[in-house]
Amino acid sequence: MRLSAELEDSLREFAANSSVEIRENGSRIGPLAGLSWEVRGAPDKPLLHFWSDQHNFTRRVLAITDNSEERLALAVERFGRSPPDRLEFVRTSFDRSARELSREEFCRQFERILLERFPDETLQSLTVAADLEHSLSGNYARGIMRSGSAYWAVLGVPEGESREAAENSLTFGLLWLERARQSRCNGFVAGLRLIVPSSACPAVAHRLPALNPKLKLELYECDARKETLERIDSCSTGNLKTWLVPRRETQSLSDQAGPAIQPIIALSPKAITVHPVVQSSEVWLRFRGLVFAHWDDGKIFFGIPESREKLTSSSWPALKRLVTDLGSYRHPLASDTRHALYRSQAERWLESLICEDVTRIDVALDPRFVYSQVFANTSAERGILDLLTVDRNGRLAILELKANEHLHLPLQAADYWLRIRGHLAQDDFLRYGYFPGVHLQSAPPTVYLVAPLLRFHPSTDLLLQCLSPELQIARVGLAENWRRGLHVVRRF
């Protein structure tokens, strides 16, 4: 049977099913039911033409590469492009979510923007499909552009994505760059073009100085409404503004709350720690890292997960019962390790153990000074815990903590390192009362990534290789049963 006849028969069979969508190179074009189509031209290399009010495109079909119950896949040529593309007709058994449709609409818009901005280049592929095997998220559109004999990896962030997704796009961009280089064995991938909405540009640009200077990366700001791209010079963006929490304000808040919270601390003095929050003028009480009560303008509230019940003489017994339960279930030797009180806020529990004696991580660190949440506007928002300390020679040290795998650990550590380095250069730590009596070195801080040894994300090595050699980073792998006591299994 000639290819044209086989193609027409297969398409008629798929068109009889109302739940079929068309995808090209992984990107969704639309439902087959909404398009008219015809097969014409040479029997061995037929032309396949689709049209509707929104679409009008033609592809030359080279071969049928897959014809199964779920999928009809074609190797096709697009006019003006030599490498074959992949056109698929996929049976779907579910309605696509509004979020998926929005991302795929962005993918189509993104293609127009790229071709307009780089008219002398060829877009080889573009998709929003997730690739979990290589830790590539479906939140972004990613593709390959060809410029002469070289290629560029491109990754774009839709306008409607969350701030966190937009700011983390650099991680996924670097992973996509590596994946593109692995898959383009016959071509040179020059670098990465990262395209983000204007709202995310400052946060992403802030991290670029932490990358290896040999890494070629171009940052663009996308105006989706105008469908334009503007190249951003990372050197001209400046650092994001951050503020250190003055130690005198922290101490003042602790002193105000002291008389009221002291009876609570006395219920379990070894497990309960005090955490002033200057931004909200509150003092939080944590039991091995888990917040169970807070002081606010002379009043105390308690409860888990949210401390809502006001402490009075009549509710005091309930608070005592809560502390007793915490002592039983949130204990290093607790028998029920699946209990919510045991598993909640694992990173905060890890933080409390390190704050007890930071020399468990490295004997070179000074146990007198361990600060958490030193920034007034960022530390509580980032999802990774930061501790700031100093070694015995006066060099600042940053500890990034994670109890489970976290893909963004290296880049978020680099972000924090840039901020701390900036404040060090301005002598802010002395001005704000940190490290009294210590002569701080001007050398950039060292960074410790601390996590259970088997919980470092598989992509950590690759992402660390993308960072500047100026960042001195040590990974500290802990034993899996770290709640029973910190034991470093490996430093590397």
**pLDDT number for residue 84:** 72
C-alpha–C-alpha distance, residues 175 and 194, integer Å: 12
Say if 3-91 and 98-236 have the same CATH topology.
Answer: no
Confidence at residue 380, expressed as pLDDT on a 0 to 100 scale: 39
The per-residue pLDDT for 27 is: 67
What is the model's pLDDT at position 291? 95
- Evaluated on CA atoms 463, 465, 470, 475, the torsion sign reads positive
- CA dist 146 and 118 (Å) reads 10
pLDDT of residue 234: 67
Per-residue pLDDT, 354 = 97
Residues 6+ positions from 51 with CB-CB distance below 8 Å = 35, 36, 37, 57
The pLDDT of residue 81: 60
Note the pLDDT of residue 369.
97
Tokens at residue 100, please? Answer: 């998926």
Cα distances (angstroms) measured from residue 198 to each of 173, 257, 449:
17, 42, 31
Report the residue count for the chain. Answer: 492
- CA–CA separation, 62 and 48 (whole Å): 11
| Whole-angstrom distance, CA of residue 154 vs CA of residue 297 | 51
Q: How far from 19 is each of 31, 33, 99, CA to CA, in Å?
A: 7, 8, 19
Q: What does the buried/exposed string (b/e) look like for 191-209 if buried means 16 or more CB atoms within 10 Å of the residue's CB?
A: bbbbbbbeebbbbbbbbbb
Instruction: Judge whether residue 83 has pLDDT over 70.
Output: no
Average pLDDT, the chain: 89
Residue among 108, 104, 147, 102 nearest 124 (CA): 147
| Strand residue runs (E) in 33-167 | 36-41, 46-51, 56-67, 71-77, 85-91, 122-127, 141-147, 150-156
Alpha-carbon 385 to chain mean position: 14
Separation of alpha carbons 405 and 482, rounded Å: 15
Nearest Cα residue to 181 out of 212, 211, 144, 218: 144
Q: Which of 139, 148, 130 is nearest to 189 (CA)?
A: 148
CA dist., res. 74 & res. 60, Å (int)? 10
**Phi and psi at residue 93, to the nearest 5°:** -110, 15
CA 365 to chain centre: 29
Burial of 482 (0-12, 13-18, 19+ CB in 10 A): buried
Q: For residue 247, give both structure tokens.
A: 């130690």
CATH domain 3-91 topology: Protein Yojf; Chain: A; (2.70.180)
Q: Tell me: pLDDT of 453 over 80.
A: yes
Helix (H, G, I), strand (E, B) or coil at 181: helix
Angstrom CA distances, 415 to 24, 212, 260, stand at 37, 14, 38
CATH class for the domain made up of 98-236: alpha beta
Q: What is the pLDDT of residues 358-378, one digit of tens each?
A: 999 999 999 999 999 898 764
**CA dist., res. 484 & res. 492, Å (int):** 23
User: Which comes out higher in pLDDT, residue 189 or 17?
Assistant: 189
Q: DSSP secondary-structure letter at 292?
A: E
Break the chain into its structural domains and give their ranges: 3-91, 98-236, 247-337, 346-491
Tokens 């200057």, located at residue: 278
Please say if the pLDDT value at position 236 is more than 70: no
Report the pLDDT averaged over residues 64-89: 79
pLDDT of residue 381: 43
Distances (CA, A) of 40 to 3, 8, 20, 62, 348: 11, 10, 22, 13, 66
Instruction: Let me know: does 112 contact 139? Beta carbons within 8 Å.
Output: no
